Amino acid sequence: MIGAYFLGDQRIETRPLALPEPGEGQVLVKVSACGVCGTDVHIFHGGKGSAEVEPPVILGHEFSGRIVKIGDGVTGLEIGQLVTIDPNIYCGRCRPCRRGQKQMCHHMRAVGVNMDGGFADACLVPYAQCVPVSQDVDPELAALAEPLACCLHGIDRAGIRPGENVLVIGGGTIGQIMLQLARLAGAAKVVLSEPVEKRRALAVQLGADAAIDPIHEDMPARLSELLGAEGADVVIECVGNPRTSAQAIDAAARCGRVLLFGVPAPEAVLQTGLYPIYQKELTIMGSFVNPDTHSRAVALLASGQLKLKELVTHRFPVSQLEQAIRMQTSTDSIKVLVIPEAAE
């Protein structure tokens, strides 16, 4: 067995993996697939995760696998069961946790961030973080439960009402999931803004009414044509840079909501006019991790209402994690998975 250890400063080293027996309340999961997240990319380049990163550590928090060993005190799980991992572990004691805002936990631990995660052949996981998945769900798709859960929290925050128009900015994995969730929430029209042609084509295939090229088209004019002069009732920004965040604010209708979902660089600064925010009475919000949405994501996966298999474009073995991370940043990819060579 091997694991890909992040050593800091864009350094990854594949090492033999000597896993102990599961301790009290732990299970050993044989990893089936682990997605490369934008957060993994940020950490690789020196940014932050959902919790403080503590190298050396095995990254990878979007994963599924089968339970191969069970420690003492574990209930409700069985050997051979397919599970997906809810990575974030909250202290339950700090002020945000006690106020029902556990995603703001001051002492958060996270599997694949500051605890060894899924870029390995196997992983020790607290059993409370394992969410069983229907056996007829493709294990690769089960690995997408975590990003789907994060998107569900964002959709909850945005509060899309049936009949509203939605603009999604960014056609990567998150944008492609968001446009489908917006449609399920009852949006009358869903439009994607994305410069890469194949991502625009995929968005239309997945249910977008239209896809705009923001580089070569007049975006305000196209939005007016597609959604009317008022603009989008809800704008979901899935890129995480100042330019697209400013576009999101500009595109929002009067009394609209702007969800800044994309993960920005820590030093990123948004420069935009204050008057339109004031005059249009905009609500601007962020969305962080996936509090209490992971089980809903698993149920939605099992329902078959989302098209997620189409998002997976590349697969790499654990030994090629660095190449996988670099591919995730390329416009050639949408979703990159790391598949242990011994996985099913």
State the catalytic residues: 39, 42
pLDDT range class, residue 52, cuts 50, 70, 90: confident
Angle at 151 (CA atoms; ends 315, 250), nearest 5 degrees: 110
Pairing between β-strand 62-70 and β-strand 88-89 as defined by DSSP bridges: unpaired
The reported pLDDT for the residue numbered 343 is 59
Pairing between β-strand 312-316 and β-strand 335-338 as defined by DSSP bridges: parallel
pLDDT range class, residue 19, cuts 50, 70, 90: confident
* Mean pLDDT for the chain overall: 96
pLDDT range class, residue 49, cuts 50, 70, 90: confident
The reported pLDDT for the residue numbered 266 is 86
The reported pLDDT for the residue numbered 261 is 98
Q: Output the DSSP codes for 268-336.
A: ------HHHHHHTT-EEEE--S-TTTHHHHHHHHHHT-S--GGGEEEEE-GGGHHHHHHHHTSTT-SEE
- Residue ranges of domains in the chain, CATH in brackets: 2-144+308-338 (3.90.180.10), 151-286 (3.40.50.720)
Q: Mean pLDDT, to the nearest integer, of 124-132?
A: 98
Q: Mean pLDDT, to the nearest integer, of 294-301?
A: 98
| Between 292 and 343, the higher pLDDT residue | 292
Residue ranges with strand state E in 36-146: 57-58, 62-70, 82-85, 88-89, 109-110, 122-126, 130-132
Pairing between β-strand 2-8 and β-strand 11-16 as defined by DSSP bridges: antiparallel
Question: Residue 344 above 70 pLDDT?
Answer: no
pLDDT digits (tens, 9 = 90+) for 154-168: 999 999 999 999 999
pLDDT range class, residue 342, cuts 50, 70, 90: low
pLDDT digits (tens, 9 = 90+) for 82-120: 999 999 999 999 999 999 999 999 999 999 999 999 999
Q: Mean pLDDT, to the nearest integer, of 297-301?
A: 98
The reported pLDDT for the residue numbered 241 is 95
